[in-house]
Structure 1
Amino acid sequence: MTNVPRNADNFCYRHPDRQSFILCQRCGRTICTQCQTPAAVGVHCPECVREQRGSMPRVKPRVVTRMNGLASSGGPVVTYGLMALAGVGFLIGLVPGGFNLLGFNGALALSQPWRIVTGIFVYSGIFAIIQLAFNVYMLWAFGSMIERELGRARFIALYVLGALGGELASSIFIPGYIVPIVGSAMFGLFGAFYVILRSRGQQANQILVLIALNIVIGLVLGSPWQMYIGAAAIGALSALIFTRTQHRSQLNAQRGLTIGLGVALIVIILLRSATLTGAIG
């Protein structure tokens, strides 16, 4: 019997105990079946595959690319984000106990402070689909214009402050009830849009009519209309701050007033909650 001398070139470079006669198409190294990766022509070894992947341009998901395009072009990214959050809040409201756990309740704001944040977005059950449709439409109609006018950061602040205004009114007039605040945030936008139009010297009576009409509808349907007035008032006040402090030299004052207003609203909500629960006399 003739012994065939061992030739190292006929064994896998990564597994020396495995004989193979297949070469990597790029580097020419011998590779076994386990180390082969099919290519357009022949096969490649693991090292060449890694090099190829490292040199390939990374392709971002289409959604990310589109959002980056909107951001760079000045599109209403925050408005679209709030519309998406509205959909998420509606789905959470469909989960049994979801609204009861996350909805705003003035009496529970101190012991369960997360409700101050989550209450801004969560809806209450399947019948809130009408409110969801209304809010998404109003965000699309008014939110995009206000975002372009004020900028993204101020628009976020305005939206949150308006919602806090609704929560404060809820704590004062209808304490002890879990209420949907999402509609109040829309009234914050209405109040802000009125101030923005007036600051430009434009007619804004139609906004007052819109606010009054929705309050009347709230009265008929038994909705907490007090929250709408509170949100509209705070939204108008927030927009007044933004429109009266537009000069570069006034930016620090603008930030201070905006943050101060937000902190004041939260503190008053917590103090009201403490009073309702007997934490303070």
Structure 2
Amino acid sequence: MENFPNYMNYGQSPTVCVNHPDRVSYAQCGRCNRTVCGECQTAQGAGVVCPDCYRELNGGNVRPKRSFIARHWHITYTLILINVVVYGLQLIIPFRWVHNLGMMSGPRVHHGEYYRLITHGFVHSQTDPMHLVWNMIYLFIFGVSLERMMGRWKFLFVYMAATVGAGCSVYLFTYYRGAVGASGGVYGLYGAFFVLLLLRKQKDTARLFILLMGIDVVQSLFHPNISHAGHFGGLVSGALATLLIIPFVKKPESSNPPPQSPQQWLNGRY
């Protein structure tokens, strides 16, 4: 199954979009409760609805046609672009001005520079480009998948909550040590992914995920420049933020999409 591996057919199959069976999602239409992916969701009132319900609620009108970019662009790509642009500014502007302005610093946050709880997640090591590269690779891998499952704005909420949580953890546990990098937010996506595995009762996949995470943690212990406090804070914050939004990402009763006519399939897909 694309974007949500179910290794060796262990565990329960993930739920998929009614119009795109190759896309895993946990968001539901607020009217008919069918599962819809981010592309099929249309804002209606305080929630989202599927294309069919949108037409029924709006007198048969088809939802506004979005451009190709709007239909296929993910917030994950925007986050990656922001990180790359900021890193470019770090290299262009002298005296490490961007790095020093955005990095997490306990004493400076204590003196009112609270923006650093967020900006540190978009600044990376000035002397090690691979710090940015690896963070962006993991952000892409987990970000696109989780964004399709949760929906764009819920995903953004989880990512930003993890970034702020990582900054708070650095403030509490390594007050005098600076920290930069998107890894706090990325670890928050790890936590979100793990929570969804447990909620879907994908126990075997969750065990494999824990094993891979354990290997990553052990490897990080041999790198003295890694902010373990930031990773821990991001992981916990991402998991808690995911649990917080679960009431708004209802679990469908069935993993199998209901039958639909060819015309409904074409309308939902295109």
TM range (shorter): 0.5 to 0.7
Cα displacement (A) at 1:76: 4.7
Matched, 1:102 2:105: no
Check whether the contact 2:132–2:181 (CA below 8 A) recurs between aligned residues.
no
What code does the residue aligned with 1:153 have?
W
Match of 2:239 in 1: 236
SS at match of 1:119: helix
Secondary structure, counterpart of 2:122 in structure 1: coil
Output aligned runs, 1:8-87, within 5 Å. Answer: 68-71=67-70, 73=71, 75-87=72-84
The whole-number CA distance in structure 2 between the counterparts of 1:76 and 1:205 is: 32
Matched with 1:208 is 210
- Give me the whole-angstrom Cα distance separating, in 2, the residues matched to 1:114 and 1:145: 28
* SS of the residue 1:139 aligns to: helix
Equivalent pair of 1:166/1:181 in contact (CA under 8 Å): no
Amino acid at match of 1:120: G
1:224–1:198 distance in 2 versus 1, CA, 3 Å = same
Distance 1:68 1:136 in 2: 26
3-state SS of paired residue (2:221): helix
Output the CA distance in 1 between the equivalents of 2:190 and 2:67.
Answer: 28
Structure 2 CA distance, aligned partners of 1:111 and 1:100?
Answer: 16
Query: Following the alignment from structure 1 to structure 2, what is the Cα–Cα distance between the partners of residues 232 and 76?
Result: 26
Partner Cα distance (1:139, 1:76) in 2 = 15
How many residues align? The count is 179
Preserved CA contact (<8 Å) 2:83 2:122: yes
1:225 and 1:241 map into 2 onto residues whose CA distance is 24
Show structure 1 runs of 5+ residues with no match. Answer: 1-66, 249-281
Per the alignment, in what secondary structure is the counterpart of residue 126 of structure 1?
A: coil
Residue of structure 2 in register with 1:120 after alignment: 121
Taking the aligned partners of 2:233 and 2:221, their CA distance within structure 1 comes to 15
Partner of 2:52: none
Distance (whole Å) between structure 1 residues aligned to residue 210 and residue 86 of structure 2: 28
Are the counterparts in 2 of residues 76 and 148 from structure 1 also a CA contact under 8 Å? no
Amino acid at match of 2:82: L
1:192 and 2:192 correspond: yes
The 5 A counterparts of 1:234-273 are 234-247=237-250
Question: 2:88 pairs with 87, 91, 98, which one?
Answer: 91
Residue in structure 2 matched with residue 155 of structure 1 by the alignment:
155
User: Per-residue deviation at 1:225?
Assistant: 1.1
In the alignment, the residues of structure 1 paired with residue 118 and residue 168 of structure 2 have an alpha-carbon distance, to the nearest angstrom, of: 13
Which SS does the other structure have where 2:240 is aligned?
A: helix
Separation in structure 2 between the aligned mates of residue 175 and residue 105 of structure 1, nearest angstrom: 7
**Distance between the aligned counterparts of 1:130 and 1:100, measured in 2?**
19
After TM superposition, the score normalised by the length of structure 1 is 0.59
Change over 3 Å in CA distance of 1:234–1:88 after alignment to 2: same
Deviations 1:72-130 (A, max 9, x none): x3x35201101111212322333432211211112211432232232120112031x11
Secondary structure in structure 2 of the residue aligned to 1:164: helix
Post-superposition shift, 1:247?
4.6
Q: Distance between the aligned counterparts of 1:68 and 1:107, measured in 2?
A: 46
Letter in 1 for 2:215: L
Asked whether the equivalents of residues 93 and 124 of structure 1 are also in contact (C-alpha less than 8 Å), the reply is no
Residues 161 and 235 in structure 1, CA contact (< 8 A), matched pair in contact too: yes
Q: Is the 8 A contact 2:117 2:168 kept in 1?
A: no
User: What's the counterpart of residue 38 of structure 1?
Assistant: none
Match of 2:121, SS state, is coil
Shift in CA distance, 176/204, structure 1 to aligned 2, threshold 3 Å: same
Identity within the alignment, %: 25
CA distance in 2 between partners of 1:217 and 1:247 (Å): 36
How far the C-alpha of 1:207 sits from its partner, in A, is 2.5
Counterparts in 2 of 1:76 and 1:216: CA distance versus 1, 3 Å: farther
User: Unaligned 5+ residue runs, structure 2?
Assistant: 1-65, 252-270
Letter in 2 for 1:121: F
| SS across alignment from 1:179 | coil
Q: Shift in Å at residue 215 of structure 1?
A: 2.2
